[in-house]
Structure 1
Amino acid sequence: MLIALYLLVNLAAQAQTGSLADVSFMEGRWKGTFNGGPIDAAWAAPQGDNLPGFMRMMKDNKVTMYEMLIFEQTEKGPIVLVKHFKPGLIGSEEKDKSDRYSFIEAKKNQALFEKEDGSIRIIYEKRSDNQLVIQRGNQKDGKWVFADLFVFDRVK
């Protein structure tokens, strides 16, 4: 009985740890709209301990922001490191800082992360073979409320 309980607890802990395989569905090139302009995103396949991604936001045919997103595998599961850049590749965060999000859980084609200060949660979700959505969640009345932040269609 104790062995079965030990195995069950270990399996539950491993399931909560997660891996880059939980976000591999993001691989590919995606396009959407945001704030009145196009937004492009691309993610490479996971390799080793990382899965890199990139976004470009534009308005009136000019870049408004670049964003680098790197999923890195850690002992506690994947984390997301995010850096923002203004036109001219001018960093928004301090050069040795990035926004950090920790893995919470994953389901098929969906992964949930939380910002290290606990203020924001992000859901990455592949809703179909040709649609990827990033949702942003905030606490409201003690519950997490999510809304679509970016909706992308696959570029073929």
Structure 2
Amino acid sequence: MLLVFFASFLLGGLNTQAQTAPAKPGTLADMALLEGHWQGRFNDGPIEASWTAPAGDNIVGYIRMMKDNKVTLYELFAFEQTERGPVALVKHFKPGLIGVEEKDKSDRYGFISAEKDRALFEKEDGSIRIIYEKRGPDQLVIRRGESKNGAWAFSDLFVFNRVR
């Protein structure tokens, strides 16, 4: 029994290591799961998102967060295809389109891996991982992960339902 546990522990550790580098380069087709118009709730207010279908070398989209019928934050997204896979570029804006990041900077997330209805990205400084996951045809979830004690711990950040 101890041998089975030890082997599982080792294999689990190897699996975590393997997720840090893409097994194969991803494509924008891996991100097609985002396409559509989505709504949910965040911080006691409505949240809305929309992404285009992949076209050429990109996908564009936005997230709008509101509270008490007033915008609290905009996020603009561009997924661009590179030879290593898609890269997610994110800029944040306060009401009045006041940029949070410097005008020539954006948060950048590199592609790690994808499987059906799920894609994993990591912020360029290695501090955060993001999972984009479709949980059925009408639910999209964005999960945020942080490294804790040598393992990645994820929690749902945004849960969206498709707008019909």
Whole-angstrom CA distance in 1 between matches of 2:34 and 2:41? 17
- 2:15 aligned partner: none
TM-score, normalised on structure 2? 0.86
Task: Choose which of 53, 58, 66 in structure 2 pairs with 1:45.
Answer: 53
SS in 1 for 2:96: coil
Tell me if 1:88 matches 2:96.
Answer: yes
SS in 1 for 2:135: strand
- 2:111 aligned partner: 103
RMSD: 1.2
Whole-angstrom CA distance in 1 between matches of 2:99 and 2:63? 14
Q: For residues 43-99 of structure 1, give each alpha carbon's deviation from its aligned partner in whole angstroms, at most 9, with x where no partner exists.
A: 000000000010100001100000001100001110000000000001000000000
Tell me if 1:133 matches 2:141.
Answer: yes
Task: Choose which of 119, 132, 136 in structure 2 pairs with 1:124.
Answer: 132
- 2:85 aligned partner: 77
Return 5+ residue gaps in structure 2 as ranges. 1-20
**Alignment identity in percent?**
69
SS in 1 for 2:24: helix
Task: Choose which of 147, 154, 160 in structure 2 pairs with 1:152.
Answer: 160
SS in 2 for 1:16: coil
Give, in angstroms, the shift of residue 35 of structure 1. 0.5
Q: Report runs of 4+ in structure 1 exceeding 4 Å deviation.
A: none
Cα 1:14–1:117, aligned 2, differ >3 Å: closer, same or farther? Answer: closer
Give, in angstroms, the shift of residue 25 of structure 1. 1.1
Whole-angstrom CA distance in 2 between matches of 1:106 and 1:89? 33
Give, in angstroms, the shift of residue 130 of structure 1. 0.4
Return 5+ residue gaps in structure 1 as ranges. 1-12
Q: For residues 79-129 of structure 1, give each alpha carbon's deviation from its aligned partner in whole angstroms, at most 9, with x where no partner exists.
A: 000000000001000000000000000010000000000000000000110
Task: Choose which of 114, 128, 152 in structure 1 pairs with 2:122.
Answer: 114
Whole-angstrom CA distance in 2 between matches of 1:143 and 1:74? 28
Give, in angstroms, the shift of residue 16 of structure 1. 2.1
> Number of aligned pairs?
144
TM-score, normalised on structure 1? 0.90
Whole-angstrom CA distance in 1 between matches of 2:22 and 2:163? 34
Give, in angstroms, the shift of residue 33 of structure 1. 0.2
Task: Give the residue type in structure 2 aligned to 1:49.
Answer: D
